[in-house]
Amino acid sequence: MTTAHALADALSPELEAIAAAAHDRLQAQAGQDLSAQEAAQRRVAEAASAAIVAGAALSVIADAEHTGQLRARRALSTDVLRHVTRAAKRKREADSEYEQAIARAGRIGLSHREIAAAAEVSHGTVRAILARSSASLNGNDQQIVTAAAAAIDDAAS
């Protein structure tokens, strides 16, 4: 058994405290509460200080912190990725609704500048959206392609 392993076995409560604090810090970083992030960071520093006082090597302390981060990442990944998937779907839906609203404004004859002012974008952006919209009406249906890509993304997740 190496010295580092023997030391790690002897200090497992201190190293576990570091891993737990690192886990909590990463979970706090995934949230929105700044005070929880600061408190978790202090706990990591306190746990590391306690391990140093107990004689743990810095590399063992770093490994314990890394272990805690990996535990948190595994615990959080499913929910975080599910949230990303839902947000991406809402974004695609909002983008589609946005482009449809601009296309409707163009169809009723509003100027590009009026539409751009309402959408808070440049009139060039409105012109590009209207060009895509008219291309889809002429048989190059970009909306079908976009919907198909969205369906593929949804099926993959």
pLDDT in tens, 35-92: 888 999 999 999 999 999 988 899 999 999 999 999 999 999 999 999 999 999 999 9
Same domain, 74 and 103: no
pLDDT, position 137: 65
What does R_g of the chain's alpha carbons equal in angstroms?
Answer: 26
Q: Of 36, 60, 81, which residue is a domain's last?
A: 81
Answer whether residue 25 shows pLDDT above 70.
Answer: yes
Same domain, 24 and 93: no
In this structure, how many other beta carbons lie within 10 angstroms of the beta carbon of residue 76?
17
Q: What is the DSSP string of 27-82?
A: HHHHSS-HHHHHHHHHHHHHHHHHHHHTT--HHHHHHHHHHHHHHHHHHHHHHHHH
Same domain, 62 and 101: no
pLDDT class for 7, splitting at 50, 70, 90? Answer: very low
Same domain, 11 and 67: yes
Query: In terms of residue numbers, what domain contains 131?
Result: 85-156
pLDDT class for 32, splitting at 50, 70, 90? Answer: confident
**More confident of the two residues 114 and 135:** 114
Q: Of 81, 115, 143, which residue is a domain's last?
A: 81
pLDDT, position 146: 54
Same domain, 106 and 47: no
- Chain-centre distance of CA 23, in angstroms? 18
d(CA 104, CA 35): 46
d(CA 156, CA 144): 18
Same domain, 96 and 109: yes
Answer whether residue 111 shows pLDDT above 70.
Answer: yes
Same domain, 59 and 92: no
Domains of the chain: total: 2
pTM (predicted TM-score): 0.58
pLDDT, position 34: 84
Would you say 7 and 55 are in contact if contact means Cβ atoms under 8 Å apart?
yes
